[in-house]
Amino acid sequence: MDKFDFKKKFGQNFLTDKNLLTQIVEKSGVMSDDVVVEIGAGRGALTEVLSAYAKKVYSFEIDKELFAFLGEKFDGTNVQMIFEDVMKVTDEEINKLVGGKFKLVANLPYYVTSPILTRFLQNENMVSCTVMVQEEVADRIVAEPKTKDYGVLTVICQMFGDAKKAIRVNRKMFYPVPNVDSAVVRIDKKEDCVAQNFPAFIEFVKKAFSMRRKKLSSNLETQKLKKTEIEKLLVENGFSEMARAEELSISDFKKFFALLNDKM
């Protein structure tokens, strides 16, 4: 692997520090009876540590040039390599493969972070996800209301789980060295999270944040529901008619979405 051609299109930046890799796995809470779905095996450094902690690891890798190397590295172990784009594998296929509850662990490039989290948080079999992301993305995932980082990704992640930043990772820990620092975020699924009508909820949240400086009533206005009606609904349910998306808590978003659905 000394001559491995790192591919920008896959966002490939690999970790090799064994102490840091062990710390990531420990922060993920993976135990000896856990099944893990890993996204992005890379050269298998994190996969190897996961293998030592977990009962079984199903590792997805999009770069098929790593097929021979990883196949040899994990031959005869509790790791099953799947050389597919995980976003092209259905939830039904993943759940059938895994056979029950699983924990997700991933080192995610920027461009797939939101799609992967949005998709897997809805999977009823996923217990938790521990992901390495760019630090600015981590800040958005764990953000509090009324802050600049609080937005669509925050609401989506925190609707389904309790999110916390577990580790900050300096860019110099990666090879090739990226332009930004990273962080490990762990999201533990809430027992009472409900994914019903989630696509509509996502669109609702996106509209709410579409123009951050504007009021909710302006962003959410449609032909069916006028601005004045939304303002009235806000006031009747304890909100200010001047409310902006960044001021609403996660529970506020769920409550207001339910109210608007009744009016549509």
Domain ranges of the chain: 8-189, 198-263
pTM for this model (two decimals): 0.89
Q: What is the pLDDT of residue 178?
A: 75
Least confident of 1-5, 29-33, 51-55, 161-165: 1-5
53, HSE (Cβ side, Cα atoms, 13 Å): 20
In contact, 243 and 234? CB cutoff 8 Å: yes
Q: What is the pLDDT of residue 263?
A: 67
Letter for the amino acid at 113?
T
Q: What is the pLDDT of residue 4?
A: 46
In contact, 30 and 50? CB cutoff 8 Å: yes
Q: Which fold has domain 198-263?
A: Helicase, Ruva Protein; domain 3 (1.10.8)
pLDDT 10s digits, 22-74: 999 999 999 999 999 999 998 899 999 999 999 999 999 999 889 999 999 99
Q: Can you tell me the distance from the alpha carbon of 18 to that of 24, in angstroms, rounded to the nearest whole number?
A: 10
Q: Can you tell me the distance from the alpha carbon of 235 to that of 119, in angstroms, rounded to the nearest whole number?
A: 34
Radius of gyration of the chain (CA): 20
Indicate the class that CATH gives domain 8-189: alpha beta
